[in-house]
Structure 1
Amino acid sequence: MTLDYQKIAVLGFSPRTGLEVVKYLSKFDLDIIVADSKNREDLRDLIAQVDSVNIEFDLGSNGRQILESELIILSPGVPYDLEILKTARKKGIETISEIEFAFRQSEAEIIAVTGTNGKTTTAELLGAMLSDLDGDQVKVAGNIGIPFISIINQLQSGEKVILELSSFQLEAVKQFKAKIALYLNYSPDHLDRHHSEDNYQKAKKNIFSNQKETDYAILNFDDPYLLDLKDEIKASVLGISSESKKADLLISKEEAYFQQEELKLLDFKKIDLPGEHNRKNAAFAALAAYLAGQKIEKIQRAAENYKLQSHRMEIVKNSKDYLIIDDSKATNPDAALKALASIEQDIILIAGGQDRNADFSELVPLIKEKVKILILIGETAEKIASLFADSKLEIVKVTTMEAAAQIGVESLSGDKALLLSPACPSWDMFSSYKERGKIFQENVIKNID
């Protein structure tokens, strides 16, 4: 593989993507500019991993040295609309994402997964279903935590790779093309980054932009936005639905049935995945795996053996056998909505977190119907509480997760469920959704015992 450039810039020296891009570029005879708003001291450990005479660091500044390059590769955390990048494009310097760059360097066949929620679960399920495809293991990369660029040297021409893709990664793709593209669901998200819902939609739609009629696009036909989107796609569109009999793959509580070929792809009676949304995630993965050539029995077996990651509708085992659920990964209203809908008991809900200008109004009807006590934390506590000003719902606002967990446990009984499903990111109070969930679990167990 060759690179026909003399100087390439990497903007955003992140521990995963930025570092892996720089490591890859270091193998070529070219000059590299690494730019980041952080200073050298903050990035000392990363710099030590890529010590090379061909690397020029532009740190803790406005990054103008990238304007000396011929190509700029962005880490996912770097917005495409930065002024310095607008200047670069006016100068004719191409600006692309790491996903786009890795795609150009690889001849692998891509199965791509996007959506507002459920991407990781679906990508992992699909990876499990394709773990033994014609004797080859299909790798999973992308937003799941493994940069695509870090595995391209392990992929032979035509080998399949599964990529979980966020709007950040799709924002700056140009030639990228997936053989099979999955769009799981849509709700407005990351508007602090994209500035408008239209920009968010455009970024996500890039997953289909270069597909041809010989490729596949799998859509959620129960999602009105995605149902309308099908007419814009050049690829062969397959719809998944639990409501419409016109869809290609029909989902019920018992099975996922592929109408075109009169096949039962999944028997849900043997699969332990809570909630309709997770059955739909499994159905997406199953259809993609089948289209990729996998046998039905291997698809079913993988689904039966799959366990959700921590903090995704995770049952917290406790000495009193109360139903306590850690869904800290629900970082937007739509994810919380799905969690609420999946629980049959009355609910004590812990919600709130970083304010990212999300619209919480869609949660109101279901919360009024199913939630008996609403415990609110974080930056959005007042905003969410204001939506229930005319309601008799019991609302408690606290400043720590420790207090939220204690109140939740004290209010809990055998006929109620305690649910942490914040509907918000965690970064106002925690380093990650994982830390938020961990603190919740620890304090729930402490207060029960």
Structure 2
Amino acid sequence: MKELDKYENKKILVLGLALSGVSAAKLLHKLKALVTVNDYKNLDENPEARELINEGLRVITGGHPIELMDEDFELVVKNPGIPYSNPIIKKAIEKRIPIITEVELAYEVIESEMIGITGTNGKTTTTTMITEILNTNRLAGTAYAAGNIGTPASKVAMKATELDTTVLELSSFQLLGTINLKPAISVITNLYSAHLDYHGTREEYVRAKMKITENQTENDYLIYNADQSELSELVNQYSQARLVPFSRKKKLEQGVYVENGKIYFNEEAVLKVKDILLPGKHNLENALAAIAVAKLMNKSNESIKTALTQFKGVKHRTQFVCSFEKREFYNDSKATNSLATINALEGFEKPIILLAGGLDRGISFDELIPAMKRNVKAVLAFGETADKIIQTANKAGIDKTIKVVNVEQAVPEAYRLSEPNDVILLSPACASWDQYPSFEIRGNAYMESIARFIQSKQEEE
């Protein structure tokens, strides 16, 4: 960690805890700042707050009292999920107090080289792919995955050295609170409309995403999806970095592309498309981005191939669970919208038994119809949207549909409808909150149900 005295004896407010808030508070405390932590949850249900109190920090819980802003704070470190409409944030803006997110703080002290990954979809998978490639046959140091992927960037910043690499997944919420952040290599996987309830407009969402390259210079690199014409225009508009495109649709003069079943980097064959274990066009795009980073980091083709031929995916993201009696089970619980489910469905050539449903946001699922028509043979629907999902399946000409209570009940029913060589896929196209606290808990329930079902079948034998 870099020696930094700019925060010594400075009054700083950390607004909102969770993992990133705890880590930011600890880092600032280590930098000898005068830290005040404010979290909405009450102290008796807030172990993170109690931990910080035990370490000697000032912690205020049970709400966000606007009176806090009567104090002379010189900086606010905001939890990414707290909107800028929050009264304390609005007051900070009015008083012209800088507002940053924890990733900006981490950037200021980190010694390792930083790779930043953003985009609407594919961030976590790409971040994990890059990390695993960089750690394959590595001779010195470690590549750490951090940021929106779960491990706070500031936690890694306190231990990473010049020998290490930090691979940082960056959400639009995190990027909006950056000022000087400048990855040596940035990646934009793709760009669609998302989180407009937070950003207000698509233009603001795009502006937040492009902050990943805002401070980059001609000594840095920006890797981007050249199959999106809008994104190609944006990177030329926003970035001063050296541009490295990737494409799965067309041959490129430079960058990473697919031709005749092989992946090339600047006309050098790296590996065959079929060597990539993860199914789906979207995962091929993630791999292209990861390969671009790897080649810029001077990783050998052998290391890239070793990593990608063993990479089974990130948990809950088109994750291969197991094979049983020639049926393949996949967990894609992270698919909380139709686009993610379409990507998952298009990733398979085999017949699919689809498990879908969840929180009803009042939207139609008709955009699923073309992908369903392709190779979905049966649908099991659960949750608030069960009836809507079944109606969509019927429109797609699928006559095998069953309404079940939850994913646990769906597993044996899906097996009953399946045949050898079928894929049984949980890809809900909905958030989980009607039945499960998170998509992770929903995915775990699915995988545990598979394990119980297989055990019961084996005991019958």
| TM-score of the superposed pair, with normalisation by structure 1 | 0.90
Which residue is 2:51 aligned to? 48
Q: Is the 1:266–1:283 Cα contact (8 Å) retained in structure 2? A: no
Tell me which residue corresponds to 1:407.
413
Partner of 1:155: 160
Report the count of equivalent residues: 446
- C-alpha distance in structure 2 between counterparts of 1:66 and 1:51, whole Å: 24
| CA deviation after TM superposition for structure 1 residue 289, in Å | 1.5
Q: Which residue of 2 aligns with 1:183?
A: 188
- Structure 2 partner of 1:346: 351
Q: What's 1:95 paired with?
A: 99
Is 1:60 matched with 2:63? yes
1:322-401 superposed matches below 5 A: 322-355=327-360, 360-384=365-389, 387=392, 390=395, 392-394=397-399, 395-401=401-407
Residue 19 of structure 2 is aligned to residue 19 of structure 1:
no
For residues 59 and 151 of structure 2, the distance between their equivalents in structure 1, rounded to whole angstroms, comes to 25
Superposition pairs of residues 70-219 of structure 1, within 5 angstroms: 70-131=74-135, 135-156=140-161, 160-219=165-224
Unaligned runs of at least 5 residues, structure 1: none
Map 1:296-335 to 2 at 5 A.
Answer: 296-335=301-340
Which deviations, in whole Å up to 9, do the C-alpha atoms of 1:201-236 show, x marking residues without a partner?
222221121112221111112234323323223222
Q: Give the deviation of 1:52 after TM superposition.
A: 4.4
> Scaled by the length of structure 2, what TM-score is found?
0.87
Query: Judging changes above 3 Å, is the alpha-carbon distance between structure 1 residues 396 and 164 closer, same or farther for their aligned structure 2 residues?
Result: same
- Aligned-partner Cα distance in 1 for 2:323–2:92: 56
Question: Do the aligned partners of 1:266 and 1:286 also contact (CA within 8 Å) in 2?
Answer: no
**Secondary structure, in 3 states, of the residue corresponding to 1:337?**
helix
- 8 Å CA contact 1:133–1:293 kept in 2: the answer is no
List structure 1 runs of 4+ shifted beyond 6 angstroms. none
**Is the 2:52–2:59 contact (alpha carbons within 8 Å) kept by the matching residues of 1?**
no
**Matching residue within 270, 279, 287 for 1:282:** 287
Deviation at 1:443, TM superposition (A): 2.9
Task: Indicate the SS of the match to 1:182.
Answer: strand
Alpha-carbon distance change, 256 to 105 in structure 1, aligned in 2, over 3 angstroms: same
Q: Give the alignment of 1:223-302 within 5 angstroms.
A: 223-232=228-237, 233-246=239-252, 248-252=255-259, 254-259=261-266, 262-302=267-307
The structural deviation recorded for 1:177 is 1.1
**What is the CA–CA distance in structure 2 between the aligned matches of 1:106 and 1:315, rounded to whole Å?**
35
Deviations, residues 69-104 of structure 1 (Å, cap 9, x unaligned): 211101222223323212211111111110112112
Cα pair 1:177 1:208 within 8 Å, conserved: yes
The one-letter code sitting in structure 2 at the alignment partner of 1:3 is: K
Counterpart of 2:130, as a letter, is: L
Q: Deviations over 1:316-356 (max 9, x none)?
A: 43542213222112233222111101111232211122345
CA contact (8 A) 1:265 1:296 kept: yes
Indicate conservation of the 8 Å contact 1:112/1:181, yes or no. yes
3-state SS, counterpart of residue 130 of structure 1: helix
Q: Percentage identity across aligned positions?
A: 34
Structure 1 residue 415, shift from structure 2 partner:
5.1
For structure 2, the residue ranges without an aligned partner over 5 or more in a row are: none
8 Å contact kept, 2:379–2:393: no
Other-structure match for 1:37 = 40
* Residues 84-129 of structure 1: CA deviation (Å, up to 9, x unaligned): 2122111111111101121123344321111222222221221122
Structure 2 Cα separation of the partners of residues 64 and 255 of structure 1 = 61
CA distance, structure 2, for counterparts of residue 402 and residue 58 of structure 1: 37
Shift of 1:381: 3.7
Cα offset for 1:58? 4.2
Provide closer, same or farther for how the CA distance between residues 356 and 203 of structure 1 changes in structure 2, counting only shifts above 3 A. Answer: farther
Separation in 1, partners of 2:310, 2:252 = 30
Equivalent residue letter for 1:347: I
Does structure 2 conserve the Cα–Cα contact (< 8 Å) formed by 1:113 and 1:183? yes
| 390 and 351 in structure 1: CA distance in 2 versus 1, 3 angstrom threshold | closer
Cα deviations by residue, 1:132-169 (Å, 9 ceiling, x for unpaired):
55623232211121111112132345853211112221
Asked if structure 1 preserves the Cα contact closer than 8 Å seen for 2:124 and 2:314, the reply is no
User: Is the 2:116–2:168 contact (alpha carbons within 8 Å) kept by the matching residues of 1?
Assistant: yes
Deviating more after overlay: 35-44 vs 24-33: 24-33
CA distance in 2, matches of 1:255, 1:67: 61
Cα distance between partner residues in 2 of 1:356 and 1:64:
36
| 1:227-257 CA-partner distances (Å, limit 9, x unpaired) | 3323223222111111122362112573210
Q: Residue 406 of structure 1 aligns to a residue in which SS?
A: helix
Partner of 1:431: 437
Shift of 1:66: 4.6
Using the alignment, how far apart are the partners of 2:200 and 2:407 within structure 1?
Answer: 30
Contact 2:353–2:422 under 8 Å retained in 1 = yes
